[in-house]
Amino acid sequence: MDNEEYYRMLDISNRRVRENNYSTKRFLLDKIDWRDRLICIFGSRGCGKTTMLLQHIRSEFKNDPEKALYVSLDNLWFGTHSLAELADIHYMNGGTHIFLDEVHYLKDWQIIIKNLYDNYPKLKIVYTGSSLLRIDFESGDLSRRQITYNLPGLSFREYLYFEDIIETKALSLTELIKDHKTIAEDITPDNTVLKHFTDYLLRGYYPFYKEVFAGYEQRISQITNQILESDYPAVENINYSTIQKIKKMLFILAQSCPQTPKMTELYSQLETDRNQGLKMLYILDRANLLNILSSKKATLKNMARPDKIYCDNPNIMYSLTENINVGTKRETFFLNQLKSAGHDVLYPDKGDFIVDRKYLFEVGGKDKSFNQIKDIPDSFLAIDDVEIGRENKIPLWMFGLLY
């Protein structure tokens, strides 16, 4: 590769950075320590990974743009060129940072990134990938070299910020439990928070809601197809028939959430066996399309029949089914926000969710009672349709303030 081709790629990179006009920033942008030599950012499509990279480059390299190179690895250019060549010439021309988007489209990406890390000690590497790549993050040479971050969709707190309604700091779960009444009283007087919460549950989890209007649910459906038809085959060698079965599984389960169907009947309907069926279920969970709730943390090795299966977030519910049950929507929101904030959420013997193996929650409407969990320590109600709670009754919307 000659300098002319390199500068063409650099021009494309600089144009992408210049034309990124987003001013609103995701929470993760300021949490990442960009000084680290190897940074991985994974997450589902549509959550803003690319925008965040471009925002960082624009901010940090505005006075020296040629130091940083942004490339998307799904670019057809890589059909006849190698990343190793591009990184080498960037380094030789004084480049100090390379930002690699959609790394799962690069064959043998782990080996190539490891070699770049080892061969160019002064080059800092940031790459993004599908949430499906977490399967590979659990072991391997890169796990000892890189710092890994997860970017989920928007929290309700971020949505309020994106809508220029209110800017408030993220809460710890401990702070929320202890001071929820005071915090709610500070937020709600000048804000119709329940109306905004309803809007968020319908269309507010994915940042691109700001770009599309009537086509929002269609865009989610397109992303779902991209994940299963493009991202998954890029991660694992699978055939068309398996992809179609996974799509069918997703649709069937979305109609019955959160009740778990008889799994043997489901596998029969999909014309697959238990092992393959569990693997497909696990992939949908990893792809952030479904949320599997079990009495112990689910992995492919120990997964059995799940206790409950939810859509990943309420926005996906609306894109996959017309039969939206309000109770299911509430539970879906609660599970999504707690897990996205990094909490361990399991299925308890009583109640709806056990969080961090300590806090027991029951989710419901404003008339929900403590009858099921009244004698259990550290038990709480997450109550919808109320702005301000009291004692162990916490407004459901406030669990969207955790990240």
Distances (CA, A) of 80 to 11, 127, 178, 235, 347: 19, 21, 58, 20, 49
Q: What is the pLDDT of residues 341-352, one digit of tens each?
A: 999 999 999 999
162 has pLDDT over 60 = yes
Average pLDDT (75-82) is 92
Length of the chain: 403
**Highest mean pLDDT (candidates 171-185, 202-216, 259-273, 368-382):** 171-185
Residue 138: band (very low, low, confident or very high) from pLDDT cuts 50, 70, 90: low
Classify 181 as helix, strand or coil: helix
92 has pLDDT over 60 = yes
300 has pLDDT over 60 = no
What is the 8-class DSSP label of residue 172?
P
- Report the chain's mean pLDDT, rounded to a whole number: 92
Q: What is the pLDDT of residues 306-327, one digit of tens each?
A: 889 999 999 999 999 988 999 9
Q: What is the pLDDT of residues 228-275, one digit of tens each?
A: 999 999 888 899 999 999 999 999 999 888 877 788 888 999 999 988
46-55, 64-73, 78-87, 131-140: least confident range: 131-140
**pTM assigned to the model:** 0.93
90, 98 contact by CB (below 8 A) = yes
Buried b (16+ CB within 10 A) or exposed e, 222-255: ebbeebbebbbebbeebeeebbebbbebbeebbe
- Position 301 scores a pLDDT of 57
User: Percent of the chain, pLDDT > 70?
Assistant: 96
Average pLDDT (53-57) is 97
- Position 306 scores a pLDDT of 83
302 has pLDDT over 70 = no
Residue 135: band (very low, low, confident or very high) from pLDDT cuts 50, 70, 90: low
- Position 257 scores a pLDDT of 87
Q: What is the pLDDT of residues 186-198, one digit of tens each?
A: 998 877 999 999 9
